[in-house]
């Protein structure tokens, strides 16, 4: 007796295959198609997100990320190599940072004016938080630097004026000078020369 027309039929080697065997390949194809569509959709959304980040990225954003990476690298180096023993030529690092930051600050002042920091630090609570953080950081650094700086003959009031006027530019320069004097005195004391005690900044 012939099968109803609505029932799918397949014939293999002269035999008839049931309806489930006919539906199964179709279901598999639908599942694979859905997976491919989902994968393509995810890739398209990822590409769109990357493109949006690329479009919105500007120089301050790049500098923010670069500074963060440099800070993390410094922390990793300090955790591994920082010791109580002085490192020869250590003053070069803060001196170079001070010079580089001075050049960047000079460009910023020339581009956006000398009082731009007042605007940036008085806009929101986050602006105030960053200002407080800067002042606290410089104050803590000076608290630790002033005693050894005075012991090697540095003129503390003059350095204080420089730090107040330039922030970390002056602070880094002060640290470079302190380390240079300490290394110089240590070297001269090791050679039996007492004139290092008469050095002045």
Q: Can you give the pLDDT at residue 145?
A: 95
Is residue 151 within 8 Å of 198, Cβ to Cβ? Answer: no
Give per-residue pLDDT as tens, 4-44: 554 444 444 444 455 555 555 666 666 677 777 777 777 77
Give per-residue pLDDT as tens, 147-185: 999 999 999 999 999 999 999 999 999 999 999 999 998
Written in H, E and C, the secondary structure of the chain is CCCCCCCCCEEECCEEECHHHHHHHHHHHHHHHHHHHHHHHHHHHHHHHHHHHHHHCCHHHHHHHHHHHHHHHHHHHHHHHCCCCCCCCCCHHHHHHHHHHHHHHHHHHHHHCCCHHHHHCCCCHHHHHHHHHHHHHHHHHHHHHHHHHHHCCCCHHHHHHHHHHHCHHHHHHHHHHHHHHHHHHHHHHHCCCHHHHHCCC
For the chain, give the mean pLDDT. 80
- Give the bridge partners for 11, in sequence order: 16
Tokens of 152: 């090697």
Q: Can you give the pLDDT at residue 61?
A: 81
Task: Give pTM, 2 decimals.
Answer: 0.64
């Amino acid at each position: 007796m012939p099968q109803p027309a609505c029932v799918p039929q397949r014939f293999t080697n002269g035999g008839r295959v049931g309806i489930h065997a006919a539906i199964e390949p179709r279901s598999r194809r639908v599942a694979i198609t859905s997976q491919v569509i989902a994968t393509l959709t995810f890739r398209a959304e990822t590409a769109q997100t990357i493109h949006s980040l690329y479009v919105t990225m500007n120089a301050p954003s790049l500098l923010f990320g670069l500074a963060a990476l440099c800070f993390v690298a410094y922390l990793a180096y300090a955790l591994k190599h920082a010791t109580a023993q002085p490192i020869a030529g250590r003053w070069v690092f803060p001196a170079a940072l001070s010079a580089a930051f001075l050049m960047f600050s000079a460009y910023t002042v020339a581009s956006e004016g000398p009082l731009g920091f007042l605007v940036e630090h008085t806009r929101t609570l986050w602006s105030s938080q960053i200002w407080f953080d800067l002042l606290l950081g410089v104050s803590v650094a000076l608290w630790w630097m002033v005693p050894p700086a005075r012991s090697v003959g540095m003129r503390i009031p003059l350095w204080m004026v420089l730090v107040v006027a330039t922030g970390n530019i002056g602070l880094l320069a002060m640290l470079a000078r302190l380390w240079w004097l300490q290394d110089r005195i240590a070297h001269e004391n090791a050679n039996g020369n007492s004139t290092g005690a008469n050095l002045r900044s």
